[in-house]
Amino acid sequence: MSTLEDARTWGTDDRQITLVVRNVSTRYLAIATDGAIGLLLMPFNVAHLGQSAYGLWALTASITMYFSVLDFGYGGALVKFVAQYRALRDRLALNEILSTMLVLLTGVGIFTFVVTAGIAWQFGRLFSVSGDQIRTGQVLLLLTGGYIAIRFATSIFGAVVFGFQRFYLNNVISIVSAIAVALVNVLVLTRGGDLVSLVIATTVVRVLTLAGFVITGYGVYPGLRVRPHLFKRERLREVTGFSLYMLVLDWAAKLNYSSDALVIGAMLSTSAVAVWTVGQRVAELSQQLTSQLSASLFPLVVDSDAAARVDRLRLIMIHGTALSLAFAVPVCVGLSLTAGPIISAWVGSSFRGTVIVTQLLLAVVLDKKI
């Protein structure tokens, strides 16, 4: 294959260090944008919605957060195979895998929405909510479930961008989306909108963001072709052999960080969920800040393995681990020591109980790095 034909199929190649810098820097910029918006929006939303309504929003979000494990680890595994077959320049194999995953994940998305509808039907019986919150909670679940179903179906395009080590493009889209969601959020609430209208408006923006990811997927991989007839059982078995490991890691993470909100919602109240959510947000921010380098290096590790570059693999593992730990210690310890004044200044003295929750969750994040 000529250089021109190769570029028409696989896109252009950049220096590895350039890609890593772009990917990591834009990811941190996206995290900073999300963090700044979160700091500003949480007290704004609590003030306009009330602690109980905000807790209801957090509760429904916690419920649907679990549905991401229904991809059975295929999302992470797909990145591995995209990077691998890109390194091998095997277009047919890659398109067969992507087509197989599209069919599978579309089915998972439909199943997810059906499960969400079932939970919405029994929402009042499953959680300790007041009578006027039942209907609102049901609508929120259906809206969020519909978005997650679409996200499942389109996730293969994000995997393409990630596997091609061009996810700085999606990082830019995410930054624009976060700003747009924040502006819509403020606009809806300042004009007297309720929780349902807020979630409808922000969900529309997020669906448009998914469309941007699809376009980017085709942009970085010009040879991309996804067709139902390219579904292959042998490709499904191939990806499944690796996805099981990703599934275990994903389930463990969800149990660590998400199960508490459901227990609190079932046993206490939505106001208690709001107290927990504040601490969880701080812990999630620290997790994001300290894990981006490792995530960014994953497709490079796969590419190096496919090319049998043992020397490069060794350097990636040594320097990547050292840098990850160097990020984690100051971030987690610093946030833990200053949790009290940060939370009081952020959401007010009524959330004093969040301090100990925040410190415990930060200890968990740091323990994972050590």
Say if 8 falls within a structural domain.
no
Residue found under tokens 């549905």: 67
What pLDDT does 234 receive? 92
DSSP string across 30-86: HHHHHHHHHHHHHHHHHHHH-HHHHHHHHHHHHHHHGGGGGGTTHHHHHHHHHHHHH
Q: What is the pTM of this model?
A: 0.73
Contact by Cβ (8 Å): 143, 199: yes
What pLDDT does 96 receive? 95
Say if 85 falls within a structural domain.
yes
Say if 7 falls within a structural domain.
no
What pLDDT does 5 receive? 53
d(CA 217, CA 232): 21
Say if 4 falls within a structural domain.
no
What pLDDT does 293 receive? 65
d(CA 106, CA 115): 14
Say if 2 falls within a structural domain.
no
Of 303, 161, 222, whose CA–CA distance to 7 is shortest?
A: 222
Total of domains in the chain? 1
Two tokens, residue 85: 């077959």
Say if 327 falls within a structural domain.
yes
* Residue ranges, the chain, pLDDT below 50: 1-2
Question: Residue ranges of the alpha helices (H) in the chain?
Answer: 3-10, 16-49, 51-65, 74-87, 91-121, 123-126, 131-163, 168-190, 195-220, 233-257, 259-267, 270-306, 310-337, 339-347, 354-369
What pLDDT does 107 receive? 92
Say if 1 falls within a structural domain.
no
Residues in the chain: 370
Domain extent, residue 44, equals: 13-369
Say if 79 falls within a structural domain.
yes
